[in-house]
Chain A
Amino acid sequence: MKNYTFSLVNAIVKFYGIPIIFLLTSVGSLANNTKGPHNAATPPTKITGKVVAEDGSPIAGANIVIKGSLRGYSSNKLGFFEFGINDEDQALVITAMGFEKKEVLIGSQTTFVITLKPDVVGLDDVVVIGYGSQKRKDVNSSIFSIRADDFKNLPQTSIDQMLQGKASGVTVTQNSGAPGGGVSVKIRGISTFAGTEPLYVIDGVPMDANNNKDAISFAGDGESNMSALSFLNPNDILSVDILKDASATSIYGNRGANGVIIVTTKKGKAGDGKVTFDGYYGVSKINKYLDLLDLKGYAAYKNSIADFTGVERQPQFNNIDKLGSGTDWQREIFKPANVQNYQLALSGGKTGVTYYISGNYYDQQGIVIGSGLKRKTLRINLDNQVKPWLKLGINGSYGSTQQGITLTNNANNGYGNVISMAIQQSPDVPVHNLDGSFGGPSDIAGLGAMSGGNPVAQANSWMTELTKNKLQSNVYGQTTFLRDFTFRSDFGSDLNWNTGDAFLPTFAWGRSINSLNTYKIQNNKSTYWNWRNVLTWQRRLGKHDVNIMLGQESQKSEWNIITAARSKFASNELYSLSLGDPSTASATQSVGRNTQESYFGRIIYSFDNRYSFTANVRRDRTSKFAPDKQVGYFPGLSASWTVSNEPFFEGLKRSGVVDFLKFRGGYGEIGNQNVPNYVYGSSLNSVFINSSAFGSGLGQYISNYENPNVTWEHQTQTNLGVEIGLGSQFNITLDWYNKISDKFLFSATYPAFTGIGIPNSGTVGIAAPYVNFGKMQNKGYDISIMYRTPKSLPFVWKSTLILSHYENVVKELNSQTSNITQTLAVNGNPPITKTTVGQPVGLFYGYEMAGLFQTVDQLYSSAIRRNNGIDAKTGTYLGDIQFRDQDKNGVIDGDDRVIIGNPNPKFTYGFTNNFSYNDFDASVFVTGSYGNDIFNYTRIWGEAMTATAGNQMASVKNRWTLDNINTNMPRYVNGDPNENAGISNRFIEDGSYLRIQNITLGYNLSTLIKRRFSAVSRMRLYFTVQNLHTFTRYSGYDPEVGPLNGNVFLNGIDMGRYPVPRTFIGGINVEF
């Protein structure tokens, strides 16, 4: 016993808890002191009593305080109390955790039986904060809470998508409309150069949401990022609390820098069991096609470029009138798709045990053929009050998803992915030959084999599948002792088995031939565990509320990825590694781990529901950094003043205009350690070498520059907020923040001559070191306005309007360069964005178009591209773009590039409206973004007019020719000597949009049904349209374009993003 206590105290003292311990003990002794002094003249009257719950069971540890004094006593484990009172004592105030406060007049009574009612705290009143919860009115930080009701009708795969437009300060973009596709969630702007995704905490178990590229494929890697949260069944979620400012997130220390999203799943409630069934079925369709040339248009285009380049016209295009419309590749790859979702849940509880058990089956086809997601989940949440002082519980979920991935969007190189291929493949290539087999390009028709050939065939027969299995659980034990202490130990784990499968079949689609089939499989096993121990001391003393928490947490994450492949299978139908030619076998493995341990403490003190103060600190030690750089400290402070609880406010309150007013302020420091392992040292990577010459077949190369000094990324954030309640109908929350991030953990943007090779291209190079540099500020405000009709009205309208605005400014960069330019990874050159000090991150960067060259005079008198002559074929000529000579040096070169666009929105918004009247309910949800630019890269393919093969957009019909000079569409020219299709503001478009995200109509049949089926307690039918319409001037598929592969420097670049479909859904909720 002694030893254990010693190690406990030792541990606490060692880990920075000294000031907190001091406070704890002093407050504790203060509390104890109140027990003593009653040296009044008259001897006290002895009173005895018992505190019980409604069912008669004793309540231990209830506080019995004499009203108007600081004297307090508590009940023993049988609920009994006994003490002396003075004559002037009028009443007792009894409080106990989980019960409502009660006042009892003393009078002449000396024996009391005090029955306490359970404290039914409405869900809306409790906010989950890190390692604990708090009543909403006591919260000092900026926390946005969303309840299950707010997203019940959204037919989305995962919770991250559902947050879009629902929470102020949170910017959600779906990087892909593919089922389970990547989602980017940014809380309050861009706080870091590395991953910007927030930390998710699911029933206490933290989980990084970095969308992982778990899938492997044969078509380049494209944007195959998948949402990390797609395993979680949204129907199981009770609430989502979003910790936005640092005073709240600093309790998560190194992982709190991007904000924290706490997800709490449903629990059973004491009482009769409930069985609920939810189901829906729907159809999705693309709602916009790009306007591409059809066969006639294509033939005319081809003829005119043949004339231009001086080659023979292709004979099949001699008579355009006789041609049909050809293949419409977009309509071949985008097909209506079904979505269905079924969920059965049981919940209830008896004598100390509550349970929630649910099962879900979800099946969503993608609108691009071949894509889709199936999910099965099972969840069991159990809580058990074993003893009055001991509670045990487990939350566990198993999720399995299976995704068919037709690599679709954002292929770096513009080909090999289904959507970009559909844009670029020409209409003279047939989908099917006459014999029913897949068609393909021929020597004279269509884009070369380099571009893949037949997108329909590829989507149908190149198998790319991702199967994820996830077992997430949290087991806890909680004990209350010494009246006010609670100790809780949680063991959380997250086990993942993911399998990526890819099969490249043999095929012959026209000239596109493959005679070597290959099967590749990647098994990714990862385990994570996390052990948290939290000691809480909570006490209310008259008007003083004190809550002190001390905690410790250890965590470890390990992974093991094995990839194996074989080729030469006898058939395309049956493939398994053992059926491939053994001489083609290959296997690779990648393992890794990281660990962390943390200590943290927090004090929350409130006085009289008027003033509240929170202070916390966390110490993290991580294996990510060199031994002497592993430790970081992250403090947070916040306070609030609820003005409306002041006596002087009574008048205003009574007038009914303002009935709640609270000011909040907070400050916190947080960190970020989001870097690969071992960047502090230099390691070697394996590379295949020619074994016939070198024996082993394996070489080693130095893979990175080391930086032993690399350490925590750092962030401070100040938050000021006000909450206003107007006449119980309006609730307005305004938050202003100033977030300064510095010492970014970032791989420096070295020039290639330092030996870095071509970053991200998978080729040999010494990766630039991770360094801590730079500084960035995000200032902004979040507004939410909630309205509900007065409770007296039969018609209910609940409405939430949220508005988020951030202003991102880079304050410092590396001392060497005042800018970071970013290139689309594989294309190598040229940069598409530039980040400079004094400007937001990732601005589009390129040439500015001044118009077209219309006259020879203009050609000779204007600046043209360096080294270019005035020449129709190899230089600049009439119909080319005249770029602005920004530096007026008479020639167009790299120095003439300027900032040409900003992907950051001026603000984003969401407007949710829920209506109900008798048995009818309806909701309308609108969301949007204003003031952001998009770089429409699909037009670089579609309007390039630089190569002889491949389809173009219909807009090229209006290109400059001698007969059509009144246009801003440049001419056709082989090889693009003037770089008409280079990076310029020609392709920048306004990305503002307003989207009717969801409209739902529901009807509650309960009263009708109940008469006939008494077992049914509730039944509701509803109809939903998701993504009904988008108002925008953007010409691409969808203006909602997120960052490419999560890269903050490549935000808002549309490379044929998988469009989000319009979905019609009919559903039913039944409760027994």
Chain B
Amino acid sequence: MNKHIKRTTCVLGAVLAVSVMAGCKKSFFDGTPTGQYTVDNYFTSAAEVEATTAALYGAPWYNFNCTYSMSIGDVYSGNSTGDANAAMIQYQNMNVTQSNEYLYKGWASLFSVVGQANAIINNVNKNASLLTTATIQTALGECYFMRAAAYFYLVRNYGAVPVVDEKANFSENYQLPRNIVEDVYKFIINDLQSAEVLLPAKGATPGRLSAGAAKALLAKVYLTNDDFASAKAKAWELISNESKYGYGLMDSYADLFYTRNNNNKESVWALQWKASNADGAYGTGNVTQAYCAPYGQELTGQSDGWGSFKPSIDLQRDSIAGDLRRKSTYMRPNDYYSELLQAKGGYTYPGCKSRTGANVKKYVVGNFEDNAATGGVYMMSTGINTYMIRYADVLLTYVEAVIGNNTSTTDATAIQQFMRIRTRAGLGGIAVSSISSDDLLRERRLEFAFEGQYWYDILRLPQDKAITKLSNIERGMYDGWCGTGSITSNKISVNAGMLLFPIPQSEIDSDPKLGEAPVPYY
């Protein structure tokens, strides 16, 4: 055999050997990502655990906050008109179809909260030896709270829904039936009772959930279930221990809606937002201003500010003369806001921007410069928190629990709490000797307008009363462009079927069991 063949074989052998060796190393086939954590190498420190629970406070709620909450809480209930597009108009006309875009987005958003909470519950104990009990307990408490809160919206909006807990294994079966309403509520109450025990009395950092928040939500759940005694007791636990839980009313109503006052003492639970236009930041900011700021982009300085939600004529008619909340809630012509367009010396609402004569002010915070100190403002992204439970709500929950099945109350403690709200609104001078359920409803309407509450307040009324109330709401607008002229009336004749929303069509498409009768969970 001649030399060059030997040489060739050598070279060939060497080449192949090197190439094969490159491939044979075990690490060569390791597919573990290097740019992100995996659940297998995570949950090893308090900071890591807290980063996962922190994510529960904002982004999963984005689509809930985006259009769903206000479309149901305020438009459907008659606080607001919503005529930006066909999806929104369906809420205004109380004819929400199964194909409604917002209905689906809200549903998906609430269940993504449930999904994240379940995932954390499943993984937080993975490296338990490296964590303190407090870290694990707080994380679990936050998850139980968030899951319960999401279900509380789901059960009120859709009735029977599938209960998805941390044990669900979707790789085997992703078609769940709906569970009966009582069991959904039982699940919610169980979760909140767990959270109440697991969470610290005050959140470790501002904005974090606490046992107080769990009690506040629990009180509302009891109230919704007509368990007035429990509701009253839970609310009173907080009212009688304000310093323990750190709650109180802000002195000025207007102060509630400045970004700089995020996580104030009145903020029992709020969605936490981060204004940003960075890559990957979609869904982490508060988008409400985009839909609420008056038509035209003067206020936001960006391509948003669509005036989609506008205070209804009905809401404006319900206002009380001298109420300080009105200007912070919505704008009427010649209202002046020094915090908006500061560079121009403030903003005066000009009118002729809305066919209801007004535009929403709540959560409208202005342009980038107005918010430079608090992280700026970007297109469809502001940094103001969304209140989910304000302490004022706890006070009025107490009052409502005291009224219970009666039509009114003269209970002194209840009146005292009621008056705290009224006094801050500048209406302390009007003496109140008794609070009727109608008074309370109106008070809640004025206090929480555009906070996504009114619909659920009406739902707590006896059904016949709720239907009458809804059927009388004026959903029309003025003929003229400046909120003048006659009103083209739009009143909807409401029936009991309209008090629940349909399950989104696409969900039934992928899980036909949702179309069947609900089954018990427990």
Query: A residues bordering B, Cβ < 8 Å?
Result: 1, 3-5, 7-8, 11, 77, 216, 309-312, 389, 443-444, 448-450, 452-453, 479, 481-482, 487, 489, 511-516, 518, 520, 522, 531, 533, 535, 552, 554, 556, 563, 565, 567-568, 583-584, 586-595, 597, 621-627, 630, 677-678, 680-703, 705-707, 748-758, 762-766, 768-769, 771, 816-817, 819, 821, 823, 827-831, 834, 865-869, 873-875, 893-894, 944, 946-948, 974-977, 979, 981-982
B309 within 8 A of A: no
Most buried by A among B114, B296, B305, B385: B296
A565-B273 Cα distance, complex, nearest whole Å: 19
Q: Which of B1-54 contact A (CB under 8 A)?
A: 2, 4-6, 8-17, 19-20, 22-24, 28-40, 42, 47-48, 50-52, 54
A866-B493 Cα distance, complex, nearest whole Å: 16
Among residues of A, the one whose C-beta sits closest to the C-beta of B277 is A518
Q: Is the CB of A975 within 8 A of B86?
A: yes
Q: Which of B355-412 contact A (CB under 8 A)?
A: 355, 367-368, 372, 374-376, 378-379, 383, 385
Q: A-B pairs with the 9 shortest C-beta distances?
A: A755-B115, A4-B13, A975-B89, A586-B278, A693-B207, A699-B55, A597-B23, A515-B301, A513-B297
A976-B31 Cα distance, complex, nearest whole Å: 50
Contact of B55 among A683, A689, A868 (CB under 8 A): A689
Q: Is the CB of B14 within 8 A of A4?
A: yes
A888-B45 Cα distance, complex, nearest whole Å: 60
A120-B448 Cα distance, complex, nearest whole Å: 88
B281 within 8 A of A: yes
Q: Is the CB of B115 within 8 A of A765?
A: yes
A699-B35 Cα distance, complex, nearest whole Å: 15
What residues of chain B lie closer than 8 Å to A691, measured between beta carbons? 274
B417 within 8 A of A: no
A658-B192 Cα distance, complex, nearest whole Å: 85
B464 within 8 A of A: no
Q: Is the CB of A678 within 8 A of B38?
A: yes
Contact of A976 among B24, B86, B272 (CB under 8 A): B86
What residues of chain B lie closer than 8 Å to A755, measured between beta carbons? 111-112, 114-116, 118-119, 164
Cross-chain pair count, CB within 8 angstroms: 456
Q: Is the CB of A821 within 8 A of B509?
A: yes
Q: Is the CB of A682 within 8 A of B39?
A: yes
Contact of B280 among A552, A591, A688, A944 (CB under 8 A): A688
A-B contact sample (6 more), CB < 8 A, given A563-B280, A584-B376: A309-B488, A683-B38, A688-B280, A752-B507, A765-B112, A894-B509
Which one, B171-179, B231-239, B430-438, B449-457, is touching chain A? Answer: B171-179
B211 within 8 A of A: no
20 contacts between A and B (CB under 8 A): A77-B2, A489-B12, A514-B297, A531-B22, A533-B12, A535-B12, A586-B281, A589-B35, A688-B278, A689-B284, A699-B58, A748-B174, A751-B514, A763-B283, A765-B108, A816-B173, A828-B104, A831-B506, A865-B97, A979-B97
A946-B86 Cα distance, complex, nearest whole Å: 7
What residues of chain A lie closer than 8 Å to B101, measured between beta carbons? 827-829
Contact of A591 among B34, B114, B383 (CB under 8 A): B34
Known: A515-B301, A700-B42, A757-B108. A216 touches B279 (CB 8 A): yes
B60 within 8 A of A: yes
| Minimal beta-carbon separation of A481 from chain B (angstroms) | 4
Contact of A8 among B5, B17, B24, B298 (CB under 8 A): B17
What residues of chain A lie closer than 8 Å to B85, measured between beta carbons? 947
| Minimal beta-carbon separation of B304 from chain A (angstroms) | 7
Q: Is the CB of A690 within 8 A of B59?
A: no
| Minimal beta-carbon separation of B9 from chain A (angstroms) | 7
Among residues of B, the one whose C-beta sits closest to the C-beta of A510 is B296
B319 within 8 A of A: no
A960-B47 Cα distance, complex, nearest whole Å: 63
A584-B377 Cα distance, complex, nearest whole Å: 10
What residues of chain B lie closer than 8 Å to A514, measured between beta carbons? 297, 301-303, 379
Known: A443-B295, A755-B164, A769-B171. A829 touches B367 (CB 8 A): no
B76 within 8 A of A: no
Binary flags per residue of B478-489, CB closer than 8 Å to A gives 1, else 0: 011100010010
Contact of B52 among A487, A684, A979 (CB under 8 A): A684
What residues of chain A lie closer than 8 Å to B40, measured between beta carbons? 681-682
Known: A583-B376, A705-B170, A754-B164. A690 touches B301 (CB 8 A): no
What residues of chain B lie closer than 8 Å to A586, measured between beta carbons? 276, 278-279, 281
Q: Is the CB of A696 within 8 A of B262?
A: no
Among residues of A, the one whose C-beta sits closest to the C-beta of B119 is A702
Q: Is the CB of A700 within 8 A of B22?
A: no
Among residues of B, the one whose C-beta sits closest to the C-beta of A707 is B171
Contact of A817 among B22, B281, B379, B510 (CB under 8 A): B510
A690-B386 Cα distance, complex, nearest whole Å: 12
Q: Is the CB of A563 within 8 A of B12?
A: no
Q: Is the CB of B303 within 8 A of A533?
A: no
Q: Is the CB of B272 within 8 A of A693?
A: yes
Known: A4-B10, A678-B31, A766-B116. A683 touches B37 (CB 8 A): yes
Known: A701-B55, A764-B283. A829 touches B90 (CB 8 A): no
Known: A689-B55, A696-B51. A444 touches B481 (CB 8 A): yes
| Minimal beta-carbon separation of A270 from chain B (angstroms) | 24
| Minimal beta-carbon separation of A948 from chain B (angstroms) | 8
Known: A479-B8, A583-B376, A684-B38. A701 touches B508 (CB 8 A): no
What residues of chain B lie closer than 8 Å to A520, measured between beta carbons? 279
What residues of chain B lie closer than 8 Å to A5, measured between beta carbons? 9, 13
What residues of chain A lie closer than 8 Å to B278, measured between beta carbons? 565, 586-588, 688
B160 within 8 A of A: no
A693-B109 Cα distance, complex, nearest whole Å: 22
Binary flags per residue of B296-318, CB closer than 8 Å to A gives 1, else 0: 11100111111010000000000
A32-B284 Cα distance, complex, nearest whole Å: 75
A563-B63 Cα distance, complex, nearest whole Å: 25
Known: A448-B295, A700-B42, A701-B52. A487 touches B97 (CB 8 A): no
B187 within 8 A of A: no
| Minimal beta-carbon separation of A863 from chain B (angstroms) | 15
B227 within 8 A of A: no
Q: Is the CB of A449 within 8 A of B296?
A: yes
Contact of A7 among B20, B22, B376 (CB under 8 A): B20
What residues of chain A lie closer than 8 Å to B222, measured between beta carbons? none
Q: Is the CB of B374 within 8 A of A981?
A: no
What residues of chain B lie closer than 8 Å to A893, measured between beta carbons? 98
Q: Is the CB of A449 within 8 A of B108?
A: no
| Minimal beta-carbon separation of A425 from chain B (angstroms) | 14
Q: Is the CB of A627 within 8 A of B105?
A: no
Most buried by B among A591, A624, A751, A753: A753
Contact of A389 among B8, B54, B273, B295 (CB under 8 A): B8
Q: Is the CB of A829 within 8 A of B505?
A: yes
A415-B71 Cα distance, complex, nearest whole Å: 22
| Minimal beta-carbon separation of A412 from chain B (angstroms) | 12
Known: A312-B485, A700-B48, A753-B176. A630 touches B497 (CB 8 A): no
Among residues of B, the one whose C-beta sits closest to the C-beta of A483 is B5
Q: Is the CB of A753 within 8 A of B111?
A: yes
What residues of chain B lie closer than 8 Å to A8, measured between beta carbons? 12-13, 16-17
| Minimal beta-carbon separation of B39 from chain A (angstroms) | 5
Q: Is the CB of B86 within 8 A of A981?
A: yes
A867-B500 Cα distance, complex, nearest whole Å: 12
Contact of B375 among A682, A692, A700 (CB under 8 A): A692
Q: Is the CB of B306 within 8 A of A449?
A: yes
Q: Which of B255-273 contact A (CB under 8 A)?
A: 262-263, 272-273
Q: Is the CB of B32 within 8 A of A678?
A: yes
Among residues of B, the one whose C-beta sits closest to the C-beta of A390 is B8
B440 within 8 A of A: no
What residues of chain A lie closer than 8 Å to B378, measured between beta carbons? 516, 567
Known: A750-B170, A753-B111, A827-B101. A867 touches B95 (CB 8 A): yes
Q: Is the CB of B84 within 8 A of A448?
A: yes
A584-B378 Cα distance, complex, nearest whole Å: 10
